[in-house]
Amino acid sequence: MELWPAESIWEQISPLLPGFTVEVLPEIDSTNTELMRRARAGRTEPTLLVAERQTAGRGRLGRPWQSAVGDSLTFSLALPFAPCDWSGLSLAVGVAVAESLHPDVGLKWPNDLWWQDRKLAGILIEAATSGGRSQVVVGIGINIRPRPAEGLSTPPAALTELWPEASAGATLLRLMPALVRTLQDFEQHGFAPLQARFEVRDVLRGREVHTSDGHSGMALGVGPTGALRLQQAGGERLIDSSEVSVRPLNTNTN
Ligand code: BTN
């Protein structure tokens, strides 16, 4: 079993989030599912839930999220959250995580972390309202050590390829303060102040892309609300992140 730096994380985060707790479980269906269950039951205390194994991990757009036990970091953070505008939240989380991991980690709109055109990590954000108060659940899965390609012609990226001593616990300790601070900044100011930081890591910019809802064009970057700007024959189109996935030409990962 991994040695988790739960106490160090708690010491760093509880001054930012009063009432914060850290829980590490050997197994659960999904850390997002569990924190959403708790939120709907009115449990709104800020919580970091880490699972060594998920039996029903979930990705975006209803996809399953598979992770190798011992070789990945899977966790969710729940906290009360009431921004004026939720647009661009997954991009903001991506910026926080990428910046805390390594200068070479890229961001693939709307919420994947990539390295060398391969997926390194994914983000699943959900919201719950209970008793008139809203809560956000931010779920993150990061490949720490390499694992097989599982049907893809390109294997996923792993953090040890960039940071050889990386472990799940050290990664979590490194990213948690940036994640919490970014969520708090986002709640106050939205995505616009983070736009430039997203753009320096944007792996789609300048590439021809296809969207799952049938659009294609040249990715031009993102707008101030985090929408993808697509250059098409008829002009520029803004693509909203909610129900869409995007694939650049000449790659097999998504
Ligand atoms: C995606 O790329 O589609 C998002 C993947 C998000 C996976 C993480 S792992 C921890 C948390 N619990 C889940 O069930 N999903 C998220």
What digits encode the pLDDT tens for the residues 68-126? Answer: 888 999 999 999 999 999 999 999 999 999 999 999 999 999 999 999 999 999 999 99
Paired sense of beta strands 72-80 and 112-115, if any: unpaired
**Could you tell me which residues come within 8 angstroms of residue 216 by beta carbon, excluding any fewer than 6 positions away?**
208, 209, 210, 230, 232
Centre of ligand 1 to C-alpha 131, Å, is 26
Ligand 1 and 241: CB distance under 6 A: no
Find the mean pLDDT for residues 211-236.
93
Enumerate the active-site residues: 60, 119, 247
Residue for token digits 């880490």?
Answer: 50
CA dihedral 69, 55, 244, 73 (to 10 degrees): -30
Mutate to test the pocket of ligand 1, among 27, 32, 113, 245 (most ligand atoms within 8 A of CB): 32
Band of the pLDDT at 131, cuts 50, 70, 90? confident
Q: Give the up-direction half-sphere exposure of residue 213: CA atoms within 13 A in the CB hemisphere.
A: 10
Report residue 252's pLDDT band, with 50, 70 and 90 as the boundaries.
very low
- Report the alpha-carbon distance of residue 151 to residue 155 in Å, rounded: 9
Angle (nearest 5°) at CA 223 between 118 and 84: 105
Residue 59 alpha carbon to ligand 1 centre in Å:
5
Residue 244 has pLDDT above 90, yes or no: no
- Of 24, 37, 58, 171, the one to substitute when testing ligand 1's pocket (max ligand atoms within 8 A of C-beta) is 58
Q: Which atom of ligand 1 is nearest to the CA of 32?
A: 12
